[in-house]
Amino acid sequence: MQKNKIKKLNWMVYTGGIITAIIFIIVLIGRFYTPYDPSAMNGQLRLAGPSLAHIMGCDNFGRDIFSRVVEGAGTTLTIAVLVILIGASVGIFIGALTGYFGGVVDEVFMRVCDLITAFPSIMLALIIIAILSPSEKNIIWCLAILFIPSFARVTRSEMVKQKSQNYVKLAKLMGAGSFRIIFVHILPNMVPVLLPTITIGFNNAVLAEASMSFLGVGVSANKPSLGRMLSESQNFLVTGAPWYAISVGLAIVLLILGLSLLGEGLQQWRRNR
Amino acid sequence: MLEVKDLRIKFISRPDKYAVDGVSFEINDGEILGLVGESGSGKSVTAMTISGLLQKSLIEFEGNVLVGGKEMLATDREDIHEMQGTDIAVVFQEPMTALDPVMKVGPQVEEAIRIHYPEISAEERKKMALDAMKQAELYDVENVYEKYPHTLSGGMLQRICIAAAIISKPKLLIADEPTTALDVTTQSHIIALLKKINKEQGTTILFISHNLAVVHALCDKVIVMQRGKIVENGSADEVFNNPKNDYTKNLLASIPSRDKRY
Ligand SMILES: Nc1ncnc2c1ncn2[C@@H]1O[C@H](COP(=O)(O)OP(=O)(O)OP(=O)(O)O)[C@@H](O)[C@H]1O
Ligand SMILES: [Mg+2]
């Protein structure tokens, strides 16, 4: 029984990890090399079907869809990585300090978090970006700030649990200062909790960016992004080029599937530890 | 070495009673004092006050605690941090949870040195740790140094904790029920180890226990606490052989006698 469970979670972590790793590698290579120039148009290849030369076919301007998907996934992943980098480090930092020290600051901060999370984050992001004008930089900052509360909450509640542990008391008795206790002793003990949170957050960031681009408030129009391409490809779904939407959709599904499996697997691994 | 004068501690969360209610005692240099009493009698609170672990915002306190002539109660946090890990060291009841689970045990033995003597080099520090571990009667110390806590037994972990406590040659070692979580054999080894440390290094020890027999074997003087007050205070032999207080007599009667044990 126990063994089965561990097998199952290994399966999720491994499969998710491998899918995610392959996508990341392809995207990384794509930063330097794609089979075709993603923005090179070719009138003769308008909406050409998949072939050996163009495995995903061509779009309405005769551009190679595979190259554009790789480029678009790159845009999406870059945004997601930056959002999580900022959101997680700020959120973990704030959550660690408020959880450790408690008091009024903690109280106020948690109410602010409640306020932010009271609204669906994508809707909030849409409104803010619609006001600020859509640009890559605005999207990153906006999503990063909206993602801070989820990291801060998880970190804070784990910190409250950890700070009363005996090993923390012993560190105090050795004369360790608060910052040493928080960052050298407690934070490494929170990795099993933070890892799945970061993975799931990353998943949500990918979805958020894709949804926003799909709805037209994402990155600028001349830059391929998975969400924007999906919205464009809809026009040709029934009229001649279903492979366009299918290719882009498949890329999104694989990315989300890999990340979800990884996040869910890590979460189960933590619970069973 | 340690002087506690009319110490009163009340938790703000429980304003109706004093957890420690007018306790006075002293320990001379190089002595081992045993502190016994039933659960909830205030032993740990007394020890935590002496070691500076109690958060001042959670308690009301009166009286004085002098460690090597330095006041522990009125001083600010910085000064207490200075004394913790240098003048005062503590060994806990639960060696299984006392160490950081994701840090190797060797570096944890070095903690007090790393914090208080940053000028000491990493190699020198490691040598000190290995020395302290040998003094705590651990074998194969180079190997144990690299282990994580969950791979070691309770007795070994308690030795690690003792090594971490004595590495900075503290003047006062507080041991709060250091053997309660261990089996009988290991228990007697740890007691012997504490006695050795006291003899060889002249470390003053405050030893807290439920177990009067252990206290008698180890300590020079004994204090018995009940409901936050000291009810008996004298040399170990006096208290053990000739208790004046009814409560102490009951405590003694509850120990299985040595002849009857097996
Ligand atoms: N953080 C706290 N908040 C409120 N009351 C406390 C707190 N810690 C201890 N007390 C109270 O102080 C009293 C003394 O507790 P203490 O832990 O010193 O007992 P003890 O003699 O060490 O018992 P044991 O042998 O079980 O360790 C108890 O009545 C306890 O309920
Ligand atoms: Mg106690």
| pLDDT tens figures, B131-181 | 999 999 999 999 999 999 999 999 999 999 999 999 999 999 999 999 888
Give the pTM: 0.84
Centre of ligand 1 to C-alpha B176, Å, is 13
Residue B143's alpha-carbon distances to A46, A70, B106, B112, B133, in angstroms, are 68, 49, 9, 21, 11
- pLDDT bin (cut points 50, 70, 90) of residue B262 is very low
- The whole-number pLDDT of residue B76 equals 77
For chain B, what is the mean pLDDT? 89
Centre of ligand 1 to C-alpha A103, Å, is 24
- The whole-number pLDDT of residue A98 equals 95
- The whole-number pLDDT of residue A63 equals 87
How far out from the chain centre does Cα B34 lie? 10
DSSP A53: S
Structure tokens at A73: 């996934």
Cβ-Cβ pairs closer than 8 A, A with B, add up to 62
Q: Which residues of A touch B169 (CB under 8 A)?
A: none
Q: Which protein residue has the closest C-alpha to ligand 1 atom 9? A: B45
Q: In B211-246, which positions are buried (b, 16+ CB within 10 angstroms) versus exposed (e)?
A: bbebbbebbbbbbbbbbbebbbbbebeebbeebeee
A65 close to A58: Cβ distance less than 8 angstroms: yes
Distance CA A255, CA A260 (A): 9
Structure tokens at A16: 């998710």
- pLDDT bin (cut points 50, 70, 90) of residue A1 is very low
Each residue's pLDDT tens digit, A22-45: 999 999 999 888 888 888 787 787
A175 vs B81, B92, B98: nearest CB: B81
Centre of ligand 2 to C-alpha B210, Å, is 9
A165 vs B90, B97, B164: nearest CB: B97
* C-alpha distance from A123 to closest chain B C-alpha (Å): 40
Sketch out chain B's domains with CATH numbers.
2-253 (3.40.50.300)
* C-alpha distance from A225 to closest chain B C-alpha (Å): 41
Residue B217 identity (one-letter amino acid): A
Residue A113's alpha-carbon distances to A154, A156, B179, B238, in angstroms, are 12, 12, 45, 62
User: Dihedral of the CA atoms A184, A187, A191, A192 (nearest 10)?
Assistant: 120
Of A257, A252, A262, the residue nearest A198 (C-alpha): A262
Average pLDDT of the residues in B65-93: 86
**Cβ of residue B248 closer than 8 Å to a chain A Cβ:** no
* C-alpha distance from B251 to closest chain A C-alpha (Å): 29
Distance CA A222, CA A45 (A): 20
Q: Is B45 in the pocket of ligand 1 (CB under 6 A)?
A: yes
Of A205, A199, A195, the residue nearest A258 (C-alpha): A199
User: Dihedral of the CA atoms B236, B237, B243, B249 (nearest 10)?
Assistant: 80
Q: Do the Cβ atoms of B98 and A176 come within 8 Å?
A: no
| ipTM greater than 0.95 | no
Residue A227 identity (one-letter amino acid): G
Counting ligand 1 atoms within 8 A of each CB, the residue from B41, B53, B229 with the most, and so the one to mutate, is B41
How many helices and strands (H and E) does chain B possess? Answer: 11, 10
Q: Which residues of B touch A174 (CB under 8 A)?
A: 84-85, 89, 111-112, 115, 164
Instruction: Say which range, A121-125, A152-156, B20-24, B32-36, has the weakest mean pLDDT.
Output: A121-125
Of B52, B178, B35, the residue nearest A174 (C-alpha): B52
Interface-testing mutation among A173, A189, A270, with chain B (most B C-beta atoms within 10 A): A173
A167 vs B53, B86, B98: nearest CB: B98
Distance CA A47, CA A57 (A): 7
A16 close to A272: Cβ distance less than 8 angstroms: no
Residue A32's alpha-carbon distances to A20, A35, A67, A165, A177, in angstroms, are 19, 10, 11, 49, 47
State the ligand closest to the CA atom of B49.
1
Counting ligand 1 atoms within 8 A of each CB, the residue from B4, B10, B39, B45 with the most, and so the one to mutate, is B45
Of B53, B56, B66, B55, the residue nearest B7 (C-alpha): B66
Residue A158 identity (one-letter amino acid): E
Average pLDDT of the residues in B100-115: 95
Look at residue A67 and give its three-state secondary structure. Answer: helix
Q: What's the CATH number for A2-39+63-272?
A: 1.10.3720.10
* Beta bridge partner(s), residue B64: B5
Interface-testing mutation among A100, A104, A167, A174, with chain B (most B C-beta atoms within 10 A): A174
* C-alpha distance from B21 to closest chain A C-alpha (Å): 24
Higher per-residue pLDDT: B237 or B247: B237
- The whole-number pLDDT of residue B171 equals 92
Q: Are strands B172-176 and B88-91 parallel, antiparallel or unpaired?
A: parallel
Interface-testing mutation among B72, B94, B111, B168, with chain A (most A C-beta atoms within 10 A): B111
Closest-CA residue in chain B for A185? B100
Structure tokens at B243: 């208790």
Residue A129 identity (one-letter amino acid): I
Q: In A9-43, which positions are buried (b, 16+ CB within 10 angstroms) versus exposed (e)?
A: beebbeebbebbeebbebbeebeeebebebeeeee
Instruction: Please report which helix (H) or strand (E) contains residue A89, including its range.
Output: helix A65-101
Q: Do the Cβ atoms of B83 and A188 come within 8 Å?
A: no
Q: Which of B 43-62 lie inside 8 A of A, CB atoms? A: 51-53
How many helices and strands (H and E) does chain A possess? Answer: 11, 0
